[in-house]
Chain A
Amino acid sequence: MEKEAVSSTHQLSQVSIRFAGDSGDGIQLTGERFTTTSAIMGEEVATLTDFPAEIRAPLGTVGGVSGFQLSFGAGDVFTAGDEVNALVVMNPAALKINLMHLKKKGILIINKDSFVEKNIQKAGYDTDPREDGSLKDYQLVEVGITSMTKEALKETGLKPKDVERCKNFFALGLTFWLYQRDLTPTQDWLDLKFAKKPDVANANKLALKAGWIFGEATELLVHSYEIDHKDVHRAPGLYRHVTGNKALSLGLVTASKKLERPLFIGSYPITPATEVLQELSAMKHLGVTSFQAEDEIAAIGSAIGASFAGQLSVTSTSGPGFALKSEFLNLAVITELPLVVVNVQRCGPSTGLPTKTEQADLFQALWGRNGESPLVVLAASSPVDCFKMAFEAARLAVKYMTPVVLLSDNYLANGSQVWKIPDVSSLPELQPGYDLSKNTPDGPFSRDSITMARPWLSPGMPGSEHRLGGLEKEPVTGNVSFDAYGHEKMVHERADKINLVANDYPPLPMYGSEDADLLVIGWGSTYGSIRWAVDKLTAKGIKVAFTHLRYLNPLPNDLKPLMKKFSKILVPENNMGQMYLRLGGEFNEKLVPFNKNTGTPFKEKEIEEKILEVLES
């Protein structure tokens, strides 16, 4: 079979592929296997999941379509790609809502067995899209994925229902041939995963191989493709691929190890944050106490209780749950107890779109509480960065004795990347900001001279008995005080302490050309798309600078001087312009907002075009 190598230039050294089908078709698993295989082959990957809020919407309808998209290749891979080179659809409904993601002339693999009249109608087509010319711009490859899987597995003795469940591995095998993926990691994984059900492992392996062989034999597909590996330069070390939620969970448990205090998570299930509770619930052997509370309020309450008792404490949620937690978050502010609150953002307002991404909880995190209530707000910039920022959130929480809100979002939570597994011994040790081994506090609200942290005194420590509460306190003693000037002093002490946190940040990262006229400021999950666009424009000789914020409150000390250097500042966000407003955009014509509220991340091209538009304006 003739093979055609994909160009090794930056833009073309990457391939994007999307799998789509009914939410019961095993699409997510198929995508994950493709991702892991590519990562093991040394390539960089970035993924995007797209699934319905319903667990099993009616079969064959557009409401029940689950999608998984990934980019893989050499060099930097920042996003799952704007458009895909190949689209694999398991039914007409999946075709209907995913065709828009396929490049013109791209490869369209469809499971022709499911293209029967009933399914075509259910998908909302008036006519069969294969026959009405609507697919003429694509390389249509019709494959009997279901029937050939049945044929390949007819001698396994498995029940028809179980045989049909293997069809995603046939599709995987076919795409493995198309992009010349190594079969071994998936075969090994099946053996491990179904160690107790070897017949299931074998059936899936048979389907995988049958898909590959079909690719090799069929004349429907002319070429297979290879990624040019000459640009694959990965540092030596151990690697895996992780989703944002997984990385975040690992960051928290690693922080607890470096703090030498057990981790407590009190949470309540909520999409798309639930995996954080699930992951940590399976880490009891690492000293994690996981508590599934009766509601969002009890979840944060239990975490504050555990913090009072001396543990590194976390609660994880999404926007609606975060709203419920706000009164308790304020209690953590006034009692100055360390706490990490993870908000995996989704589209709001209210229940909104639970499985779609947005960055619209920034104001809620910064200011969504009564009174003067300063706290630290951080945001992860990529799935892998969720590890780092979870660790940072814990570090700052205990060092400054404060709640820290860590913002992630649906895109980061379910997206994945290759992650270089850190050496735990190389990570810094974490310490409470008031060192009780060196100082003896005059009271529970005595402050460290540098961090302004109060001592972390917990029940069980003789001689430290004290009373905490939500009422205003007298400085130092922490006794309830209604004194007006005492209140003003405490308002300032709390604010001053949080402002000190900015002295503890790394310098702002700079990308592109620092002598450009235009600075792009991103925060959170927009990093990948912006970085791709800025790199691409820079390679073309177009001057644009980019900095990315991961520390949102207090804002970094070097941000204001940096902003002064540029005549235009573009702020792309998956919201209506919250960071833009935070940076004074409403009254500063230098700032240009760029907003997207479609529940999906920015496309690389959208950022690129907007930068060009601003440069030309």
Chain B
Amino acid sequence: MSQVINSLLVLLVLTGFTLLGSSRLAACIRAVGFQGLLLGLLAILMQDGKLSAAGVLLPLTTAVVKGILLPWLLFRAMREADTVREVEPLITYNVSIIAGTAALALTLWLGQRLQLPSEPPSSLLVPAALFTSLAGIIVIVSRRKALTQVLGYLALENGIYAFGTTVALRLPVLVELGILLDVFVGVFVMGIAIFHISREFDHIDTDKLVALSDVG
């Protein structure tokens, strides 16, 4: 079982790298969606045989929302905003990947040092979770489009979710549902915002929003 979990975690890390190195918006959205599916699967596998109805349903809902619903919303936003379907990074893809590698090294080191209340089922879990969050942050910081920032935010949240599965396997259902709803509403609002921004300004380039500033 631990081999399967490990492989899934490696896939999670690789998806993070895909998010960092890919130039296509569509590929990035798929990567984030894939992360959602992976997380749902991981959350089920980590319960270690003691399956309960809530223990299966909740991860399944997560997987459906993160892996299917949100990507669908984002694809719609991309189509409606009718933007250039390239990521338009502020730094080159190579530098993004190198930054990702540095982040991975950092999280591997942190994973050895971090003291957790309970032993995680795999030594790779903490690094992979932290790395996913860091990859999300790198994307938020270094990409120009509003849509990629949403993607970065989602990756960040995916990382936190993965981390959450280690700390508290039986997180109160209500809290978890709340988080899920939060994310959903967040993406929904951002989708609408992007759509309106692009309608008003013909682009969704956050760099150019500086023009709205009073100071400038």
A and B interact physically? no
Interface residues of A (CB under 8 A from B): none
Interface residues of B (CB under 8 A from A): none
